[in-house]
Structure 1
Amino acid sequence: MQSRRQQRNQRYGRFIGLTALGSLIPGTGLIAAGKRRAGTTVLVVLAALAIVGLAVLVLVPTSELMSYGGDRQMMLIVGTLLAAGALAWLLIALGSHRSLEPDGLSTGKRFAGALVVILCASVVVAPMALGSRYAFTQRELVGNLASSGGSNTTPQVDVSDPWADKPRLNVLFLGGDAGEGRTGLRPDTQILASIDTETGATTMISLPRNLSQIPFPEGTPLAEAYPDGFTGGGDPLEWMLNAVYANVPRDHPEVFEGVGDPGADATKWAVEGALGVEVDYFIMVDLNGFEAVVDALGGITVDVPRDIPWGNKSLPDGSCTQANGYIEEGEDQHLDGFYALWFARSRCGSDDYERMERQRCVMNAIVDKVDPATLLAQYQSLATAAGDIITSDVPAELFPELIKLMVKVRSQPLESLTLDNDFFGSMGTTSSDPDYDQLHARIAEILSDSAETPPADATTPPGDTTEATGQSADNAESDRTASIERASGSTEEPENDGGSGEPEDGETDEPAADEPVDAGAVC
């Protein structure tokens, strides 16, 4: 009696062991069950797929692999194959279990065997199913981010080699909202990223929202509509850079027939005229949803140069309402989405130029936080948040090559240039009365110097920022720094003048004063 029970237990133990093995390595369970041909076929197919996968990982450059994430067709194929593979793996595991199961097992032992299949198979099936979900999510994200309408301003490129005749790619980042108390959408945040397509070296140029008398590029319909630049009578607030987005399409709708985002098209032309460079694409971020992205990243870390008020607003007389609280001064302050948004946008006690510096700090902090581990852990929430708040005129078919370029950008330090009062003062002008010929020459000089700088070596940390106001990231770049200092003017810290706050609930959106405030927000 005891011997038979031992034999049954041994047989059941062997069954559980082979079931587990067959669930982890498809085919082995079928061979053990006597189905050698079927089991061998499964093993050969599995081995072939493993070899192909390993060869791809070893032979295909990382940037090429990452670029597949921008290919919607590839994501459809990958997602479908992973889903099919997960299903096939599970079915083979169940088939092995049934083939190996001894006769006469009790219900409890059968349940235990099925549980072993589920647990062991899930080690492989669950990651494959998650990968499939990520692939379909990525495909949807690219579709959401890509251009959804026509454009007057996007270049015609050969997608197979889009940078062949384009030494620099210029992308305009717009940040704005049409929140309560505001008339239409006004992108108060405008940053041009000028990227060297050979090295990935990038210069971020922050434009003040009160830039005035902007000329539109020759040969464009807006140059004819505004022969003296974007200027006119009435309220001067309606003739600043941030008013182009709403006012130009409103006054000249015939220019933007069939255009997906007329305001962005008009703003691209305005920035082209202001800086003297071609603007290839725009990326618009709705700041109302910005905090969702930061929260999906788990927050960001910045150096806070002084106590930054939140929850208040400016009044018509230049004073501010009582703040609900303060983001406290200190290094390495961790901010969630709510406080990161206030840190980037708070105006009370500052001016536009300090605010532009804080926005640059936030952008750098986000770039630093986006590492592979964070992306993998928070991908679903990040993709959902990004898809809801970001729009662009980048064609969907260009995303693979754009991702390759972004890999280069991540390996280079970012340079930052803020067009502040020091910058305009060095030319004897102001942002409200600029000399655009001088401005074009300065921008061309800065970008030319950037193009001549050799690529940073591999030890340079990604996300590092070299200020285009005379602060060099490396002593070896002293000659280049001197050139940037000539282009940027004084680097002395300006004094605080009290500033103005975010316009809402009937308050006035006054242009920034000519005198800058404390620029200690460089972080």
Structure 2
Amino acid sequence: MTRRAWWLVVLNFVLPGSAQVLAGNRRLGRFGLGVTLTLIALAAVVGVVYSLWPAVVLTVFTNSIGLWAAALLLAFYGVVWLILTLDTLRLVRLVRATPKARPIIAGFATVLMVGVVGTAGYGAYVATTASGFLSSVFVAGPTEPPSDGRYNILLLGGDAGPDREGLRPDSISVVSIDADTGQATMIGLPRNLEDVPFPDESPLASVYPEGYGSIDGCEVSACMLNSIYTEVELKSPEMYPDAVDQGSEPGIEGMRDAAEGVTGLSIQYYVLIDMQGFSELIDALGGVDINVDHRVPVHTDDTFTEVAFWFEPGMQHMDGYHALWYARSRHDTSDYDRMVRQRQVQEAIVQQASPANVLTKFQAIATAGSQVVKTDIPQGMLGYFVHLASKTKTLPIQSVELVPDNDVDPEDPDYDVIRSLIESALTPPATEEPAP
């Protein structure tokens, strides 16, 4: 009877339902076997499809409907396995096993039950939480094709504060991703660029035909790149009447047009990150590792003048508060230094956001992300971008900084030179044909 008990417990774990078919209610056993074999078949199909067309599987599991279906399936199987395990414990007849084996068998079966049911329950919880997160952050809208084989995404670090009217982008970048290889190039745009041009079809082009503020000034105090958001959002939102309905804002659309004018690239999507809540996202990830190459101060307040302490050179593990100050520090530094540090933090977050790390801290990450991130990337593109990101993580991220060291003068920029720099960075070097 002791051997029989062990066999039934093991069979219930390896092939749920088989214990009932052999020694109990065969109807229940056949039902359990059917559910188990169906789950195994589904897992096999998903594995085969993922090996051939990974973007298809990722699209299903980055969609609210697909996530809810997965959650219901996991919850259902967890309940079925719980019932089968409790019934198996009844069938083993512990009272007829040897006294020493009884607590071991019962404990082993209980551990297996808690492990399997708990895993299924946590999986269902993650799926429902992810569905809510995706619905709150990503829009339901049409997908955009790549432009010249690339996806170009505008990244804005919004810096709202009690001492300023509205929000101004404190960090402005364009990430250009090869749609096939996943190779990413980060283009850093100085926030103090002047005479910013706009595409011909932009409503801002008719107001500023020679560039932003180049003739008669602008509607805000400083006619620089990051002021375009403030001006459009607060002064001229009617320029972009459909922005909100499309998951954006007038100010963001103004910045998109400006970034297209500067870079010469067609920008399909944007991502706005609220810098005030940025630290929460980094804390949720467990911090980031940054290689500090020179001393950087942390300030005592938002005046950026009084220094509390310094980051010393070397590898540093930073929580959200310190990573945010490292990226924003202005004391004894320049905007161009800040651009480099901001890029370091962005790349560190990409490295830290591994699948295992995200799963183990999913609730905190989802909560922080829904408060920090705003984007017009549609849910229908998430599977494709997740697959593309898996390629990006294996490649070094290239960068193009539009700074004086690269012959860019923000106060008198030559936009032909800027576009030439970007084109050179995005065009792969020609390979010579081998001699016959």
The TM-score range, normalised by the shorter chain, is 0.7 to 0.9
2:332 corresponds to: 349
1:254 corresponds to: 238
Counterpart contact for 1:238–1:247, Cα < 8 Å: no
Shift of 1:33: 3.5
Counterpart contact for 1:20–1:116, Cα < 8 Å: no
Alignment of 1:177 with 2:159, yes or no, is yes
Counterpart contact for 2:277–2:372, Cα < 8 Å: yes
Larger gyration radius, structure 1 or structure 2: 1
1:290 corresponds to: 278
Query: What amino acid does structure 2 have at the position aligned with 1:56?
Result: V
Query: What amino acid does structure 1 have at the position aligned with 2:71?
Result: G
Shift of 1:102: 7.8
Counterpart contact for 2:150–2:178, Cα < 8 Å: yes
State how far apart, in whole Å, the 1-side matches of 2:24 and 2:185 are. Answer: 66
Unaligned runs of 5+ in 1: 1-9, 151-155, 455-475, 477-523
State how far apart, in whole Å, the 2-side matches of 1:423 and 1:186 are. Answer: 25
2:305 to 301, 305, 321: 321
Kindly tell me the number of residue pairs found equivalent between the two proteins.
421
Question: Can you list the C-alpha shifts for 1:241-261, whole angstroms capped at 9, x where unaligned?
Answer: 111111123222222224221
Alignment of 1:403 with 2:391, yes or no, is no
1:489 corresponds to: none
State how far apart, in whole Å, the 2-side matches of 1:55 and 1:278 are. Answer: 38
1:42 to 11, 24, 32: 32
Counterpart contact for 2:35–2:77, Cα < 8 Å: no
Unaligned runs of 5+ in 2: none
State how far apart, in whole Å, the 1-side matches of 2:218 and 2:235 are. Answer: 15
1:216 to 190, 198, 209: 198
Pick closer, same or farther for the CA change 1:321–1:177 going to 2, 3 Å. closer
Query: What amino acid does structure 1 have at the position aligned with 2:23?
Result: A
State how far apart, in whole Å, the 1-side matches of 2:211 and 2:352 are. Answer: 41
State how far apart, in whole Å, the 2-side matches of 1:312 and 1:249 are. Answer: 31
Counterpart contact for 1:327–1:339, Cα < 8 Å: no
2:44 to 33, 38, 54: 54
1:134 corresponds to: 126
State how far apart, in whole Å, the 1-side matches of 2:118 and 2:109 are. Answer: 13
Pick closer, same or farther for the CA change 1:190–1:216 going to 2, 3 Å. same
2:228 corresponds to: 244
Q: How do residues 408-447 of structure 1 correspond to structure 2 at under 5 angstroms?
A: 408-425=391-408, 430-447=409-426
2:347 corresponds to: 364
1:386 to 369, 387, 392: 369
Question: What SS does the corresponding residue of 2:366 show, helix, strand or coil?
Answer: helix
Q: How do residues 443-522 of structure 1 correspond to structure 2 at under 5 angstroms?
A: 443-447=422-426, 449-450=427-428, 452=429
Alignment of 1:303 with 2:291, yes or no, is yes
CA RMSD of aligned residues (A): 3.1
Counterpart contact for 2:49–2:56, Cα < 8 Å: no
Shift of 1:147: 3.1
State how far apart, in whole Å, the 1-side matches of 2:4 and 2:48 are. Answer: 38
1:80 corresponds to: 72
Pick closer, same or farther for the CA change 1:60–1:314 going to 2, 3 Å. closer
- Percentage of identical aligned residues: 33
Question: Can you list the C-alpha shifts for 1:329-378, whole angstroms capped at 9, x where unaligned?
Answer: 22x21111111111111011100000000111111212222223222222
Shift of 1:35: 2.5
Counterpart contact for 1:97–1:113, Cα < 8 Å: no
Alignment of 1:186 with 2:168, yes or no, is yes
Question: Can you list the C-alpha shifts for 1:218-244, whole angstroms capped at 9, x where unaligned?
Answer: 022221122232104379853111111
Question: Can you list the C-alpha shifts for 1:88-119, whole angstroms capped at 9, x where unaligned?
Answer: 211222334445558999xxx99999876543
Alignment of 1:94 with 2:86, yes or no, is yes
